[in-house]
Structure 1
């Protein structure tokens, strides 16, 4: 808990000794790999801070080509939008802030230790520490900006290099399929790019 509070205090720009009142607002949860924390269509009632492990958010591709996919009894493609390692946080932000049905699935990619913050506790904590509410928004915008910059790179090899720079050491911890869906390429393209580097 001390490591988490220190990290969260640093995130909020508050001295850790002045942040102890925040502790009761969080619930520590240990979650196995592959656990679905949120499903599309549900209202996000929690925000998760990652102490150990990795979270990802994704949605299912829903376009006209999906009709043919479903006719062949195949699964619709998963499009990964966020990959969040330790000391990051994740929720379906618009669903969480406005308490309306969301669009994302959120799951653990590794056995994870999370600090869960309910919507009610988030509101109360933001009153106690207004910096928390502001920084949650700012950090979300920063993540979105990073994602947009990566997606704007025309070359798949450049997107991969950007991803590896932003998340050093993470590629060996998550599947090639998930990495490829985050980069908006096929797994075979990802393997080809990596083979060309050798």
Structure 2
């Protein structure tokens, strides 16, 4: 079963567990399943990953947080306590994984959790996160003990990035929220 949420979807796997996935990731998983050796193909993809550089410029992005229906607990607390100052990954239209750092995040309550929780985030990234095709960019936590594919299959939430903000002033961790 597939349930589409904006540019992301919920897909039911063989264990009847729902997974959050976007179109490019679905294409990637479909291609991996067609390969002769999924594990070897997955390792090759991870080797081609663009690794997070802590010296990259700071940027502000906004969007919504989509929560896996199987997640139990307070997602805002979960993200703020566990995933600030952590690397995240996105699979872009160039068909490569790109890492960036989540420096800080501001999560807002929503009356319509079906559309996700709105957020602004300060990230550290060498690439721009402006969706080229009008679709949101899906970003997820990069678990160091899991492959990228395993991280996709086991995520509690995704950042559905809809826009990168542009500022004329000097963007630093201490002032970014005042510029919103």
TM-score range, shorter chain: under 0.3
Query: Greater CA radius of gyration, 1 or 2?
Result: 1
Bigger helix share: 1
TM-score normalised per structure 2: 0.24
